[in-house]
Amino acid sequence: MQYGMIIDLERCVGCHACTIACKAEWEVPVEFHRNWVYRIGPSLVEKEMASTYYPGLCNHCNDPVCVPECPADLEEVTFTDIKTGKTKTMEIAATWKDPFNGTVQIDKDRCLGCGACVDACPYEARYINPDLVDDVSEDGKADKCTYCMPRVEAGLQPACVQTCITGARIFGDLDDPKSEVAQYVKNGAKGIEPDGGELGPNSRYYGKKKDISLLFSTHTPELADLGHVRRRAMLASMVKPAVKKARSIGLMGIAGALIAKSITDSDSSKE
């Protein structure tokens, strides 16, 4: 199984019902988003006028570049296929790709809040949620679209899909050839691959050729500098445990200063 979402650009009217539903469902801070809708155009595309929308979200990629960048300690976790009961045990960090449904998820209890996965995602689909603070990260934890897995596992549609007034968002199993999402892929729906990479995005777009061309020409991202991401991740894996210990003995002023200096030095080394 590989869950995926189709965005039918011929149906989307840019009403933002999906983004509002997502914020309400997951209490997303106002300044951040799990999904978004950007207006594109009108612009001239191959001598034709094109105008469309870019409804974006996490792509739950086949090969998610964000997952291997997480510096949290690996932990053995057993996953269960809700349909067959089959189990699989894997070692995962604080973010992973589910072996049975193909979604990319985050364990916020284990997340260090370092932002490595945020920096790695070329789609800017992740953010650090400042409301998710604890004794490990006073800045918050990584957050993003989860395809509303708690809702899906309860037999519901993702909040954005349920709320879409025109049926522009279609959710389902891409591996099921009889599913509506699979039929859209058969008819040409495709994901936005970043320049220089093949990640296999599973949030895909369908529409008129000129509108798809406009979307891809204006919103195809570039892969992140993973060397810089990994330096920050390594720093976080060393510093965050020290922060927790410092809090326990009342030395957060010193620890905070050291963290700020280390991150600044790391960022400066990139330039």
CA distance 214 to 219: 8
Which one of 219, 234, 256 terminates a domain? 219
Residue 45 confidence (pLDDT) above 80: yes
CA distance 258 to 243: 10
Tens of pLDDT, residue by residue over 191-219, are: 999 998 899 999 999 999 999 999 999 99
- Total domain count, the chain: 2
CATH of the domain at 65: 3.30.70.20
- Same domain assignment for residues 266 and 194: no
- Same domain assignment for residues 109 and 232: no
- Same domain assignment for residues 191 and 157: yes
- Same domain assignment for residues 263 and 167: no
- Same domain assignment for residues 155 and 262: no
- Same domain assignment for residues 248 and 193: no
**Cβ neighbourhood burial of 9 (10 Å; 0-12, 13-18, 19+):** buried
- Same domain assignment for residues 166 and 262: no
What residue type is assigned to position 167 of the chain? G
- Same domain assignment for residues 157 and 258: no
- Residue 264: band (very low, low, confident or very high) from pLDDT cuts 50, 70, 90: very low
CA distance 238 to 244: 11
- Same domain assignment for residues 239 and 185: no
- Same domain assignment for residues 89 and 64: yes
The mean pLDDT value of the chain amounts to: 89
Bridging pattern class, strands 3-8 and 203-206:
parallel
CA distance 185 to 229: 33
- Same domain assignment for residues 72 and 115: yes
Residue 134 confidence (pLDDT) above 90: no
Residue 251 confidence (pLDDT) above 90: no
Residue with tokens 């599973």: 202
Residue 163 phi, psi dihedral angles, 5° rounding = -90, -20
Which one of 181, 201, 219 terminates a domain? 219
Q: What pLDDT does 257 receive? A: 47
CA distance 130 to 25: 17
Residue range(s) defining the domain that contains residue 125: 3-219
Closest among 97, 85, 90 to 2, alpha carbons compared: 97
- Same domain assignment for residues 210 and 250: no
